[in-house]
């Protein structure tokens, strides 16, 4: 609990020091998720009460691992997503059909 309190105290100090209390449009949170091209199971056994069934993937089982970055402000403004393909070159075919203004890159 002490670490959680310390984190919130630090966040409060950063918001105060940077005059962000009344400027939620300047406060953003980003999160990254990833997907592997390796589908290792076609069926998953779960308990009947389970609402969401998924299998954790560490990224080592597939040939490629794609990362996605999402970012939103405290007012709810969403930045366009950012997609990072694990490859040496970025194929233009991968960069079409996404949301408007989506950013694309390769990892190597």
Beta bridge pairs of residue 85: 66, 106
Residue 59 has a pLDDT of 47
Res 52 pLDDT > 80: no
Which pLDDT tens digit goes with each residue over 4-45?
A: 999 999 999 999 999 999 999 999 999 999 887 776 666 666
Residue 58 has a pLDDT of 53
Domain ranges of the chain: 24-106
Residue 81 has a pLDDT of 96
* Model pTM score: 0.66
Burial class (CB in 10 A: 0-12, 13-18, 19+), 35: middle
């Amino acid at each position: 609990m002490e670490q959680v309190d310390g984190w919130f105290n630090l966040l409060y100090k950063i918001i105060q020091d940077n005059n962000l209390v009344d400027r939620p449009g300047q406060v953003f949170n980003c999160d990254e998720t990833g997907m592997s091209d390796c589908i290792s199971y076609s069926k998953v056994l779960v308990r009947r009460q389970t609402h969401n069934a998924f299998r954790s993937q560490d990224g080592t089982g597939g040939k490629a691992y794609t990362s996605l970055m999402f970012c939103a402000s405290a007012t709810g403004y969403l930045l366009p997503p950012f997609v990072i393909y694990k490859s040496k070159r970025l194929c233009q075919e991968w960069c079409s059909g996404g949301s408007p203004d989506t950013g694309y890159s390769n990892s190597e």
